[in-house]
Amino acid sequence: MTLSEVLLWNKIKSKQLLGYDFDRQTPIDNYIVDFYCKDLKLVIEIDGISHSGDDKYYADIEREKNIKSLGIDVIRFSDIEVKRNMSGVMDALASWINNKTEAS
C-alpha cells in the first residue's frame, strides 16, 4: 500500500467510518480496488503518480465504467488530497454515505 492508502485505511478500518466495514485490495471483476464496502457497494480509489498520463487516464475511465456496470459506485481521491486534506476526504465520504443511505 502507498502512504496515502495507509493513511486512509487507518481512518476507515474496523468500522470507523459510520460503522461500515471496508476491505482493502479487494478483487472486483478483473481489477483489484484499493478499498471496498460491500454493504454500500462502494469502491474508494486513491490516485497517485502512477495514474498520471493519458494512457493511464483512459485506462482508469474504462476501469471505473466497468466497475460501475456491476452496480458499484466509485469515489476517487488524489494521493495529495489524502495526504494534505484528510478531514475533507473523510467529510466527503461521510456525506456520500449519508446521501446514499437517505436515498435508500
- Per residue in 11-25, pLDDT tens? 999 999 999 999 999
Q: Which residue has the cell 475511465?
A: 61
Predicted local distance difference test score (pLDDT) of residue 50:
60
CATH code, domain carrying 11 = 3.40.960.10
Predicted local distance difference test score (pLDDT) of residue 52:
57
Taking residue 21's Cβ as centre, other Cβ atoms within 10 Å add up to 15
- Total tally of structural domains belonging to the chain: 1
Taking residue 14's Cβ as centre, other Cβ atoms within 10 Å add up to 9
* CA 42 distance to own-chain centroid: 7
Q: Supply the range of the domain harboring residue 76.
A: 3-103
- pTM equals 0.92
**For 27-51, how does the pLDDT look when each residue is reduced to its tens digit (9 = 90+)?**
999 999 999 999 999 999 999 766 5
- Are the CB atoms for 34 and 67 separated by under 8 Å? no
- Are the CB atoms for 92 and 75 separated by under 8 Å? yes
Predicted local distance difference test score (pLDDT) of residue 54:
65
Predicted local distance difference test score (pLDDT) of residue 6:
97
